Amino acid sequence: MDYKSIIQEQLANMDLSDLQSIMNDTSLESGGVVPNLSIQDILNKAINGQPIFDSQVIIHNFIDLFLYEIKSSIILGVQLVTICIVIGLLTNLSNSFGNKAASRLGIIVCSCFVIGLCLNNFSQTFDMCSDTLNTMTRTMQILLPILIPLLISIGGITTGSILNPVIVGSITMFNTILQKFILPAIFISSIFILVNSLTERDYVNKLGVFLRGVATFATGLCVTFFAGLTAIQGFVSETADGVLINTARYSVNNFIPIVGGFAADSIDMVLSCVGVIKNGISIFGVILVIFLLAIPLIKLMAIAIIYKVTAIIIEPIGNKQVSGCMNEMGNSVITMAVVLFLAALMFLVFLTIIIGIGGGSLLK
């Protein structure tokens, strides 16, 4: 039996339907931008030395998606610019005719419309980030019960026993911190910034900017702590597992008469095939997390650009306070994108650690 048959047989005995379902849903929701890959395709192309996907087609699809999101977000920008033009006209009329009370009331009403539009858009952005984070977390929770037994089966007994609770605990805690504290802090800071645009004084603007900065710092701190803890645990336990499996291979080769060498070679072949499957599934998980990140990240960047451009356009024709608010809203959207990127980065670090572990136990 060759290694391809062993890999096919092992894959047939594994339940990968949930993982494949997430890839199918991601490809469907992206409108064909994300290719619908399978673990079998990745392993076959990797074994045959073929590229997993056409990078030029992927880049072209993402550029088209970005332009489409820009066009979709322009509607929001046009609405905001129109309202700010009305605010500018009311301000000029009040200066010309001296009826400041009526014009001031009109300006407040228009500013409330601006707040409503921005709040509705940012609420949708918040929900999109929350859903993406939940999907990435669910992907990792599906991957770990598949990867850890494979890691243990190739000799990573100590590593699998240690990493499983560490990674599961890190993912659960990190998701809880993001969902309960960091993302709501960014949302609240945006509300403060929007409310502050109703007045000419900075009442809660600095508080909103402070909350946003704290959220970004806390996300980076969590990623550094959890990823560093996992990496240290993995590197320490990998040494013990490498010694264990190499000792077992040496014992089979030297202490079993006649068939010891053949048995050792067979063990090497099986371990190598399992290692290929582990790495193939891990690479599939890396690609899936990247695609899950890329789609909302492109949308967030398009929205942030619209906010920034709108702030530039309305500054000379509208209220400077509203212009500054639009600029800060763009910064808040960028902060959401940064938080989402850091979360995906931590998940990618976990997967790359699992890919790297086990290589020592396959050395002959």
Condensed to tens digits (0 to 9), the pLDDT of residues 66-93 reads: 898 888 888 888 888 888 888 777 767 6
Identify the pLDDT of residue 322: 79
Q: Tell how far CA 340 is from the center of its chain.
A: 5
Please count the CA atoms within 13 angstroms of the CA of 101 that sit on its side-chain side: 0
Alpha-carbon distance of 343 to 27, in angstroms, equals: 21
Residue 80 in any domain: the answer is yes
Query: In this predicted model, what pLDDT tens digit does every residue of 244-274 receive, in sequence order?
Result: 455 545 444 555 554 444 444 555 555 667 7
Is residue 263, in this structure, part of any structural domain at all?
no
Q: How many domains does the chain have?
A: 1
Q: At what angle do helices 183-196 and 320-356 cross, to 10 degrees?
A: 170
Structural domain of 94: 55-240+278-359
The answer to whether residue 8 sits within a structural domain is no
- The residue ranges of the chain whose pLDDT is under 70 are 1-4, 6, 91, 93-104, 106-107, 154-164, 198, 200, 233-272, 318-319, 357-364
Residue 29 falls within a domain, yes or no? Answer: no
Give CA–CA dist 32/29, Å, rounded.
Answer: 8
Q: Tell me, yes or no, whether 25 lies in a domain.
A: no
Task: Answer yes or no: is 81 within a domain.
Answer: yes
Residue 250, domain member (yes or no): no
On whether residue 331 sits in a domain, the answer given is yes
